[in-house]
Amino acid sequence: MFDDNRRLQVIRTFVGLFLFLAWAGIVSGVEGPAAPTGLRCEYLPNPMGMDVQKPRFSWVLHHTERAQMQTAYQILVAGSADGLGRDAGDVWDSGKVDSSHSTQVVYAGKPLSSGKTYYWKVRYWDAAGNVSPYSGNAQFEMGLLARDEWKGQWIEGNLLRKEIALDGRIVRARAYVTALGYYELSCPRESPPLKTRIKATEPRYFPREYKG
């Protein structure tokens, strides 16, 4: 009698758990392909100072079923977050591309401009032809791509100090720096103070962002 009661209790527990999971799947609507996550551009999340005209994208797939795969994708790249929110890929709309690749996907849109921020997202189709929701928005910012856009000069010596007066409140600013060897960039009036130390064996590009 005891074994029968225990067996019945176990069966009720499993049935209840099954019904709960089924109900949760219906309520949350997560069956099938879920929105991609882990969006990266040139292996970095939301990078600044990109110096390549054809960056590479990657993302992570999620699905409620086992043994599923990506059979196609669509990438949207926009010049503004608002435009991307309207599903308007005014810089690049890849359309539906039949491919299982979710890494090393090369940008193939309009020429990218120096210093501009671009916003992108992606969705994919599974083996049954079901399409996922779009991912959340990601972004990447271009650096200075042409030599004549670098207006600064090489500095010799140990210290450079430049003070400027600006009208209004600073919302965002960029420092474009390259160096050979070692340099220290600081902005002591920022709160908290911005301070970066870089040791480089070859000239590199280091963007820094300031938000007021």
Task: State the pLDDT at residue 75.
Answer: 97
Strand pairing partners for 34?
A: 62
Query: How many residues would you count in the chain?
Result: 212
Amino acid at 173: A
What value does the mean pLDDT of the chain take?
79
Task: Tell me how far apart the 2 most distant CA atoms of the chain are, in Å.
Answer: 92
Model confidence over 151-180: pLDDT tens digits? Answer: 776 766 666 666 667 777 777 777 777 666
From CA 161, how far away is CA 180, in angstroms rounded? 19
Query: pTM higher than 0.75 for the full model?
Result: no
| 3-state SS assignment for residue 186 | strand
Q: Residue 70: which H helix or E strand, with range?
A: none
- Chain centre distance of CA 158: 37
**CATH hierarchy code of domain 33-141:** 2.60.40.10
From CA 210, how far away is CA 106, in angstroms rounded? 30
**Cβ proximity of 100 and 71 under 8 Å:** yes
**Cβ proximity of 46 and 137 under 8 Å:** no
Model confidence over 50-97: pLDDT tens digits? Answer: 889 999 999 999 998 888 999 999 999 999 999 999 999 999 999 999
Residue indicated by tokens 């079901």: 130
